[in-house]
Amino acid sequence: MGQPLIDLRNISKSFDGTMVLDDLNLSVKENTFVTLLGPSGCGKTTTLRIIGGFESPDRGEVIFDGQNITSLPPNKRQLNTVFQKYALFTHMSIAENIAFGLKIKNKSRSYIQDKIKYALKLVNLDGFENRSVSSLSGGQQQRIAIARAIVNEPRVLLLDEPLGALDLKLRQDMQYELIRLKNELGITFIYVTHDQEEALTMSDTIVVMNQGYIQQMGSPENIYNEPENAFVADFIGESNIVPGIMLRDELVQIFGAKFNCVDKGFGLNKPVDVVIRPEDIDLVAPENGTLTGKVTHLIFKGVHYEMEVTSPDGFEWLVHSTDLFPVGQDVGIHVDPFDIQIMNKPASEDEEAVGINE
């Protein structure tokens, strides 16, 4: 597979005595779309700023294409950053904004003109050269910020919540734009967001972070279907997380009932956490269910119904289904073995502390 383009090795960073990144290791392959995903304050921006050279780590190394660039200033790195706030110069035209970095580099007039045209075409703002910044919508301004980064031909584009200020519809449009852009440019994108849907839509690889640690790294499918711990399961989508006992390989007991599953290697009678996605619960007649419950809440969500099914011991299951079961109806709960995900319980209180209960 070759060496990674970017390698963060044992990166630690504190601010005012508080550890923000703790021995972080992260490899990014060339030409991938990598997303750092996690709740506010988990260290995503700090990680990005360390890659960009705007922040230096207390310990550890930043390797770029085999070279140690830990102490290289931002403008000497082969990457460009697009920030959450577009930071365009309002007294300059669009063309002048895009040309800014190139003029500093003393590029020729014709080179700059060509580049501006090319970049505007890429971000679907053909012919906007002489418009003023203030005449553009938020989405258009963010496209200009991206165009401004692209003209420098970076090998890596760093994007810190670039769509955070846009409304939902525009954000979704821009998500597809960015995927297209990444494919056309053939460069590496490192993208920061706290929005799990955005991460699932756009990424080749998602890095789930919490409190300065990487919790899990993998493809969107891998992260969604096989969360390694309760934090990831809960953060990456709605989940039912219930205590269970792994009786033996491929058999787990939940609230006294035995469910077949596909997980192995947990040992005998081992307490575990069980994750079941709302869409993976099949509601059936009570006599056909592995567990029973009563529908206690129902909302129509457009594509599916969202139901709450309360089991006799009081646990409230979240269920998504295209079939409607009215409030008050007794139902059975069935789950296919491969839709049951078994996770080790946190080994220590320390690990528990980075869990879901905060």
Interacting residues toward ligand ADP by CB under 6 A: 15-16, 20, 38, 40-46
Site for Mg ion in 193-252 (CB under 5 A): none
Query: What is the nearest approach in angstroms of ligand ADP to the Cβ of residue 330?
Result: 45
Question: Which of ligand ADP, Mg ion, none does residue 62 bind (CB under 5 to 8 Å by kind)?
Answer: none
Question: Which of ligand ADP, Mg ion, none does residue 46 bind (CB under 5 to 8 Å by kind)?
Answer: ligand ADP
Cα–Cα distance list, 14 to 27, 221, 351 (Å): 21, 33, 20
The three-class DSSP label of residue 255 is coil
Find all residues with CB under 8 Å of 197, minimum gap 6, and list them: none
CB of 195 or CB of 330, closer to Mg ion? 195
Query: What is the nearest approach in angstroms of Mg ion to the Cβ of residue 16?
Result: 17
**Do the beta carbons of residue 66 and residue 234 sit within 8 Å?**
no
CB of 45 or CB of 175, closer to Mg ion? 45
Cα–Cα distance list, 193 to 159, 182, 203, 222, 343 (Å): 9, 17, 11, 18, 25
Question: Which of Mg ion, ligand ADP, none does residue 293 bind (CB under 5 to 8 Å by kind)?
Answer: none
SS3 content of the chain, % helix, strand, coil (to 5): 30, 35, 35
Query: What is the nearest approach in angstroms of Mg ion to the Cβ of residue 133?
Result: 24
On the 0-12 / 13-18 / 19+ scale of CB atoms within 10 A, 189 is buried
Query: By beta-carbon distance, which residue lies closest to Mg ion?
Result: 45
The three-class DSSP label of residue 111 is helix
Question: Which of ligand ADP, Mg ion, none does residue 176 bind (CB under 5 to 8 Å by kind)?
Answer: none
Question: Which of ligand ADP, Mg ion, none does residue 41 bind (CB under 5 to 8 Å by kind)?
Answer: ligand ADP
Query: What is the nearest approach in angstroms of ligand ADP to the Cβ of residue 8?
Result: 14
DSSP state at residue 128: -
Query: What is the nearest approach in angstroms of ligand ADP to the Cβ of residue 203?
Result: 16
Query: What is the nearest approach in angstroms of ligand ADP to the Cβ of residue 329?
Result: 43
Site for Mg ion in 26-45 (CB under 5 A): 45
Q: What is the contact mask toward Mg ion in residues 44 to 73, using x (rule: CB under 5 A)?
A: -x----------------------------
CB of 50 or CB of 178, closer to ligand ADP? 50
CB of 44 or CB of 277, closer to ligand ADP? 44
The three-class DSSP label of residue 168 is helix
Angle at 326 between CA 324 and CA 329, to 5 degrees: 120
Cα–Cα distance list, 9 to 61, 262, 319, 350 (Å): 5, 35, 42, 23
For the chain, the distance separating the N- and C-terminal CA atoms, rounded to the nearest angstrom, is 39
Query: What is the nearest approach in angstroms of Mg ion to the Cβ of residue 106?
Result: 34
Where does this chain bind Mg ion (CB under 5 A)? 45
